Structure 1
Amino acid sequence: MSAWRAGSTGEYVMRKSIVFMCGLALGFALAFAMPPGRAHDADQLAASAPQKNPLFINMTTGDSWRGWMGLHFAHATLKMGHPVAVFLNLDAVTLASMKGEQEKKPSMQRIPRDIIADFIRDGGVVLMCGPCMAEFGLKLEDLVPGVQMGKPGFTQGFIFAENARTLTW
């Protein structure tokens, strides 16, 4: 008797296996197919109309090294031509403080407040959480010059800007 006989368990398993394999092959073909004339290249994507792709980074860590990494990423993205706004909240507000020492690990070229100053100078926006500042005893005059106070409505303008991407660090 043939394994393809109607109603047999072997036939059912074989058909299911064939359908699965065809679906898998089709999925791979669709996933890796590239329309003609379009490169699948990160450099090309990054260069495509960067001014229409702003980035909003919600930074929540006051850890010097983690903060440095996020700020370094924000500054590099700004230099690629994307508008970038960084919102410092929770203990991340301490990264913009001009008071006290900031830890500098060997892998860090600069401390966070120096990156913030250069980032603002190069056109980046740094917004500050007011209640978070108060929690850490900071005042506007304690911060890197150019840091702006975030407030309802103003901060959301950056989050919901046309084609904006958001990232939490």
Structure 2
Amino acid sequence: MCSSLAAYNHRSSPMKRFVLAFCAALMLTGLALVAPEPSQAGEDKPGLFITLTTDDTWAAGKAIMFAHQRALKSGYDTAIWLNVRAVYLADKKRPSHIHGLMAGQGATIQDMLSAFIADGGTVLMCGACSKAAGLTQADYIDGVTMGSWPVVESWLFRDNMRTLAW
């Protein structure tokens, strides 16, 4: 009945005008029910999940710089997952240096991770890899999140998430 609304004109009978008004009200109600609320519309922020597996400070420095300067500062919800040997990068007792063009900044890998966290980035630590390396939450710089499967899964499988391995 509503599909033939275009056939009705202003000279229609009162019953036809009622049907037209009723169908229009139904369509508007239906649109209101499926339209996202303003708070839901902003939750579609793009994300980047970087998995970092090496403790090589040259590669790690590039990965952290990319995550921080390119992704996070461009509006991506960004996480770096430190796993395998990368768990050593956030150990506050382990000295580190940065190679290449970034060496002039004088920052350590821990400094870079801390700055990334301070700007809203997330650093996830593999719990199993930490245990294998003999490290605990107390060994890591402030702000590191231990990454249980539910935590990692909540990042990895969310809508609009991209992954990058380093």
Q: What TM-score comes out, normalization by structure 1 length?
A: 0.67
* Percent of paired sites with the same residue: 41
Residue of structure 1 in register with 2:54 after alignment: 61
Structure with greater proportional helix content = 2
Distance 1:104 1:73 in 2: 14
1:79 aligns with 2:73: yes
Native 8 Å contact 2:68 2:116 kept in 1: yes
What is the total number of aligned residue pairs between the two structures? 121
How much has 1:136 moved relative to structure 2? Answer: 1.8
- Aligned equivalent of 2:95, options 95, 98, 101: 101
SS in 1 for 2:149: coil
Tell me how large the CA RMSD over aligned residues is.
Answer: 1.7
Per-residue CA shift, 1:72-110, capped at 9, x if unaligned? 000011011111011100001111110121133252232
Pairing of 1:116-135 with structure 2 (within 5 A) = 116-135=113-132
1:158 aligns with 2:152: no
Aligned partner letter, 1:142? D
Distance 1:144 1:73 in 2: 20
Distance 2:57 2:140 in 1: 16
Structure 2 gap ranges (5+): 1-41
Distance 1:100 1:84 in 2: 25
Residue of structure 2 in register with 1:19 after alignment: none
Aligned partner letter, 1:64? T
4+ runs of 1 displaced by more than 3 Å?
A: none
Q: What TM-score comes out, normalization by structure 2 length?
A: 0.68
